[in-house]
Amino acid sequence: MKTTLAIFRLIVMRAIASIYIEGITSNIELKTTKKEFRGHITLVLFPLVKIIKKPLKQIGKEIGEYVKKHLIIVHSFHLLNGFLNFECSEEYYFKLLKKISKEILFLKSSEEDSLMIEYSSPNTNKPLHLGHIRNHLLGNSISEIFKAFGHNVIKIQIINDRGIHICKSMLAWKKFSSGETPEITFKGDHLIGKYYVAFEKAYKKEVEDLCAKGYEKELAEKQAPIMQEVRKLLLLWEKRNVKTWYHWRNMNSWAYEGIEQTYCSLGIYFDDTQYESKTYLLGKSIIEDGLKKGVFYKKEDGSVWVDFTNVGLDEKLLLRSDGTSVYITQDLGTAVERFELYSIKSLIYIVGEEQEYHFKVLFLILKYMRYAWADRLFHLSYGLVQLLSGKMKSREGIIIDADNLIDEMHKLAQFLTYQKENTLGIGALKYFLLKIDTKKRILYHTKSSIDFNGNTGPYIQYTNARISSLYRKAFTKMYWRNSMIRYYRYSIIGRYEKYLLKYMEQYTEALLLAKKCLIPSIIANYAYNLSKTFNDFYQNVCIINIKNKYDFVFRLFLSKKCGNCLKKTMNLLGIEMPEYV
């Protein structure tokens, strides 16, 4: 079924061909009429004046008349400031409502390609914070958007469970904890985070002491006893020392449990999980392959590099002189492995903007290596979440902790309502993070809490609860029966109903744009504007407290579909919509 815009495009093309010249396609600018003007579809006439070379008013009148004559859904047209606005008939709106409920809200799932989306890379040495939440929500939402179009999406996370930072909290726990283990009141990830901070504190003190003894800062940082000790621990780990691994596994299990709980309260899950401890050695064979192909080169000390100076980038190290791998080595290996193991067509990485350069280089290397899928790799980069004081610093404990924030939102929501479920608090938090354009950074003001009024998640949730309430009440009305739905076409449609229908019609467009640009905020804004349009209608038009049964049925049916639409869009953001508020 064609969209209204497509139908108009066709008829306008015919009009121009029949009245003026044939073959005009690119200068036909059609759009949905803005709310402040009368009409449903608008044709912008300026681009046509140039080609047709006749007065604007004449063109408008002639095209308008042709369209009105040949398109039955057009009721009238009028010309304003070079814009030709078409108004549609009542019959059209009845059909539109039917089309929305049967087609538009159910996207045709013609897309079947599989794709993988990587998001959330938690470290097992600290709890999650607000920055992670942004990552989770973006990843989850992008996944849901692709699913809505019928794609098979594999959500994957890779856990950073090894390395010097993990050893730091392990060592600090050994030294300072006297055997403390996670209790019900103190989550495992928080416990580990506490010792990570303790390590950094102790380390800082040692460095200061050494500096006081006359050491240069750089030397002091290397010589600090605790740092030397943690290096030894890392070596032990790499040699798979039994005791170290036992300790490592044990502490990681605390972290997993804690992180899992946070995921759960956010409604985040994954189809698959990778562990860096298992993938960190991948990629070395690719380096050899690249050397053979002459894409990489070896320096005298044995280190391997790739030279991108000819494309405006730098030289990049791929393998250390001692033969050990770096970050990008494993990423090369992981990417190749993913395309080998899963039958995916493309891969999207949801990672902060600070790694843009990394991914640029990564993708370029894979392209030079002639992997067929190299041009179907995407990095969705997003702006950092910052505090007024600057970046969050895990090692100093200056973070907005995810669990605390979720808890705070819950309390705030409970203060305002009496709901036990945390749908409103979580909804407010999720919407707060998702409504902002992906590439913009978010400044989090610790003093002002996240809003529940205006352009917020709860506003939209509230709108839906109102709609649910209408529907519940409708059944208590004497004359309401489900079979009455067919009467809706005898209603008289007012301007509020038309606004609503017009906006609902744009559902597919909003989703397509969000998918194309990988920007969930487009969906968030759509949901908000739809809510606003509905509330406008709700406050100005009686829906069920009316005598006319035709209007009653039409307005109720319209409200219901609007609720469906709201639910669908908000679910794409991972936000639940309660029936009661």
Number of helices (H), then strands (E), belonging to the chain: the values are 21, 14
Q: What is the DSSP letter of 123?
A: B
Q: Which two tokens stand for residue 67?
A: 């369209």
Chosen residue from 1, 22, 36, 547 binding RNA by CB under 7 A: 36
Judge contact between 122 and 193, C-beta under 8 A.
no
The CA-atom distances, in angstroms, between 568 and each of 172, 272, 306, 466, 535 are 47, 25, 46, 16, 18
Nearest approach, Cβ of 343 to RNA (angstroms)?
Answer: 28
Residue with tokens 């698959």: 272
Judge contact between 287 and 293, C-beta under 8 A.
no
Q: What is the DSSP string of 412-464?
A: HHHHHS--SS-HHHHHHHHHHHHSS-TTS-EEE-SSSPPPSSSSSHHHHHHHH
Candidate ranges 106-114, 172-180, 218-226, 430-438; the one touching RNA (CB under 7 A): 430-438
Candidate ranges 40-48, 65-73, 130-138, 185-193; the one touching RNA (CB under 7 A): 40-48
Chosen residue from 140, 157, 456, 491 binding RNA by CB under 7 A: 456
User: How far from chain centre, in Å, is Cα 276?
Assistant: 24
Candidate ranges 38-46, 66-74, 254-262, 339-347; the one touching RNA (CB under 7 A): 38-46
Backbone region of residue 83 per phi and psi (left: phi > 0; alpha: psi in -120 to 50; beta: other values): beta
Query: In the range 94-123, which residues lie near RNA by CB under 7 A?
Result: none
Is the dihedral angle over the CA atoms 144, 145, 150, 153 positive or is it negative? negative
Query: In the range 175-194, which residues lie near RNA by CB under 7 A?
Result: none
Query: In the range 355-414, which residues lie near RNA by CB under 7 A?
Result: 355-358, 383-384, 391, 413
Q: Which of 89/303 has CB closer to RNA?
A: 303
Nearest approach, Cβ of 81 to RNA (angstroms)?
Answer: 5
Measured distance CA(377)–CA(88) in Å, rounded: 44
Q: Which of 178/482 has CB closer to RNA?
A: 482
Nearest approach, Cβ of 163 to RNA (angstroms)?
Answer: 5
Listed residue (475, 576, 540, 519) closest to 141, CA to CA: 519
Q: What is the DSSP letter of 36?
A: T
Nearest approach, Cβ of 538 to RNA (angstroms)?
Answer: 5
Judge contact between 227 and 168, C-beta under 8 A.
no
Query: In the range 46-75, which residues lie near RNA by CB under 7 A?
Result: 46-47, 50
Number of residues counted as binding RNA (CB under 7 A): 90
Candidate ranges 91-99, 129-137, 194-202, 417-425; the one touching RNA (CB under 7 A): 417-425
Question: Using the rule CB under 7 A, is 303 a contact of RNA?
Answer: yes
Measured distance CA(137)–CA(9) in Å, rounded: 38
**Which positions ≥6 away from 85 have C-beta within 8 Å?**
33, 37, 38, 39, 40, 41, 42, 77, 78, 79
User: How far from chain centre, in Å, is Cα 397?
Assistant: 27
Nearest approach, Cβ of 273 to RNA (angstroms)?
Answer: 16
Chosen residue from 271, 437, 487, 490 binding RNA by CB under 7 A: 437
Nearest approach, Cβ of 134 to RNA (angstroms)?
Answer: 12
Residue with tokens 């003007």: 37
Q: Which of 154/519 has CB closer to RNA?
A: 519
Chosen residue from 364, 416, 484, 485 binding RNA by CB under 7 A: 416
Q: Which of 183/301 has CB closer to RNA?
A: 301
Q: Which of 183/322 has CB closer to RNA?
A: 322
Q: Which of 107/313 has CB closer to RNA?
A: 313
Question: Using the rule CB under 7 A, is 291 a contact of RNA?
Answer: no
Nearest approach, Cβ of 84 to RNA (angstroms)?
Answer: 8
Q: Which of 268/524 has CB closer to RNA?
A: 524
Measured distance CA(555)–CA(534) in Å, rounded: 11
Candidate ranges 132-140, 181-189, 350-358, 500-508; the one touching RNA (CB under 7 A): 350-358
What ranges in 486-520 are assigned the alpha helix state H?
Answer: 495-505, 507-517
Nearest approach, Cβ of 123 to RNA (angstroms)?
Answer: 8
Query: In the range 560-579, which residues lie near RNA by CB under 7 A?
Result: 579
Q: Which of 262/463 has CB closer to RNA?
A: 463
Measured distance CA(326)–CA(164) in Å, rounded: 13
Residue with tokens 């996370």: 157
Please report which helix (H) or strand (E) contains residue 378, including its range: strand 377-382
Judge contact between 42 and 32, C-beta under 8 A.
yes
Question: Using the rule CB under 7 A, is 3 a contact of RNA?
Answer: no
Q: Which of 232/440 has CB closer to RNA?
A: 440
Nearest approach, Cβ of 212 to RNA (angstroms)?
Answer: 25
Judge contact between 86 and 44, C-beta under 8 A.
no
Q: Which of 182/468 has CB closer to RNA?
A: 468
Q: Which two tokens stand for residue 7?
A: 């139908």
| Partners of 186 in the β-ladder | 183
The SS3 call for residue 303 is coil
Candidate ranges 59-67, 204-212, 239-247, 352-360; the one touching RNA (CB under 7 A): 352-360
Candidate ranges 125-133, 208-216, 286-294, 351-359; the one touching RNA (CB under 7 A): 351-359
Q: Which of 114/541 has CB closer to RNA?
A: 541
Q: Which of 37/479 has CB closer to RNA?
A: 37
Query: In the range 139-168, which residues lie near RNA by CB under 7 A?
Result: 160, 163-164
Residue with tokens 């059909």: 95
Question: Using the rule CB under 7 A, is 277 a contact of RNA?
Answer: no
Query: In the range 502-541, which residues lie near RNA by CB under 7 A?
Result: 513, 516-517, 519, 521-522, 525, 528, 532, 535-536, 538-541
Nearest approach, Cβ of 308 to RNA (angstroms)?
Answer: 10
